[in-house]
Amino acid sequence: MELLKFEAEWCGPCKTQDDILEDFDAVPVTHIDVESDMERANQYSVTSVPTLVLLDDDGTPVKQWTGLTQVEEIEAEL
């Protein structure tokens, strides 16, 4: 499994999401800047940041969250 975190440098809530995920180590977290990787953001239909996308072992999205997300919500899907 992998967690994709879509973010932007100018996004205050994205920095808060980083703080929330600071000690989260259940799955690898990949940070994706939507301004430099629009193709990937479009691939996952990201329309606002922060957005988290949980991928299964095959790379298939199993859950997507928009806005600040608590670790407990992510862990519930693992």
Give the separation between CA 44 and CA 40, rounded to whole angstroms.
Answer: 7
Distance of CA 75 to CAs 8, 24, 37, Å?
24, 9, 27
What percentage of the chain exceeds 90 in pLDDT?
100
Helices (H), 2-70: 12-21, 38-43
* Pair 68, 23: CB distance under 8 Å: no
The tens digit of pLDDT for each residue in 38-68 reads 999 999 999 999 999 999 999 999 999 999 9
pTM of the model: 0.96
Q: Tell me the two tokens of residue 77.
A: 């899907």
Q: Tell me the two tokens of residue 11.
A: 């996004």
